């Protein structure tokens, strides 16, 4: 009888330890499945970001393969941007309208790289943002005049590519500009 009790106790302990092991394994597997789901979601997110970056790179590649035709610089008196402004003046809008008309009259498949520039009076981060705002303003105006969005790309150089000395008011005014590079 005593042997029977020991045997039954041993079998019960063995059975209970088997259930605990099964529960332990199930908990571990469940945790791993949750982590795999998180990783799959992150991979999908990175994949989307990669596809978007590739599309931007391909657009830039189209521009880079293009043959340079000419550059239009919006720096003439009355067409310059005011300090810390990205709003187009009426003269600048008129100049862009004429450019859009010329492009339509030429009837060529051209690409435009619209480059925003600033003077050096703000922080580099702010000037990068402001240069982009200026380039975007020009892109919107040209689009309103019938230039297809897919034929234009914008980039900001901020304060990094001055054409004049930033220590004088005249030089800073010349640096607050947008350049439009026309490529075929």
- Over residues 128-151, the pLDDT tens digits come to 999 999 999 999 999 999 999 999
pLDDT digit string (tens) for 83-103? 888 888 888 899 899 989 988
State yes or no: pLDDT of 67 exceeds 60: yes
User: Which has the higher per-residue pLDDT, 72 or 19?
Assistant: 72
Residue 133: per-residue pLDDT: 95
E strand intervals along the chain = 68-74, 111-117, 152-158, 178-183
98-112, 113-127, 165-179, range with the lowest pLDDT: 98-112
pTM: 0.61
Average pLDDT score over the chain: 80
Is the predicted pLDDT of residue 74 greater than 80, yes or no?
Answer: no
Asked whether the predicted pLDDT for residue 168 surpasses 90, the reply is: yes
Question: Distance between CA 159 and CA 124 in Å, rounded?
Answer: 7
**pLDDT category, 106, cuts 50, 70, 90?**
confident
- Nearest alpha carbon to residue 114 among 97, 98, 127, 96: 96
Helix (H) and strand (E) counts in the chain: 4, 4
Burial of 14 from C-beta contacts in 10 A (0-12 / 13-18 / 19+) = exposed
Tokens of 164: 């004049």
| Contact yes or no for 135/154 (Cβ under 8 A) | yes
């Amino acid at each position: 009888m005593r042997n029977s009790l020991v045997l039954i106790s041993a079998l019960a302990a063995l059975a209970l330890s088997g259930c605990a092991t099964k529960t332990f394994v199930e908990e571990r597997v469940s945790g791993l499945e949750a982590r795999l789901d998180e990783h799959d979601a992150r991979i999908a997110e990175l994949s989307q970001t990669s596809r978007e970056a590739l599309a931007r790179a391909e657009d830039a590649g189209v521009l880079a393969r293009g043959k340079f035709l000419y550059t239009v610089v919006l720096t003439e008196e009355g067409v310059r941007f005011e300090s810390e402004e990205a709003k187009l003046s009426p003269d600048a809008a008129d100049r862009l309208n004429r450019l859009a008309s010329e492009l339509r009259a030429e009837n060529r498949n051209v690409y435009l790289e619209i480059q925003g520039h600033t003077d050096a009076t703000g922080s580099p981060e702010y000037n990068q943002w402001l240069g982009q705002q200026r380039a975007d303003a020009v892109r919107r105006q040209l689009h309103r005049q019938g230039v297809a969005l897919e034929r234009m790309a914008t980039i900001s150089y901020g304060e990094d590519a001055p054409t004049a000395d930033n220590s004088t008011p005249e030089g800073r005014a010349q640096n607050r500009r947008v350049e439009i590079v026309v490529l075929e």
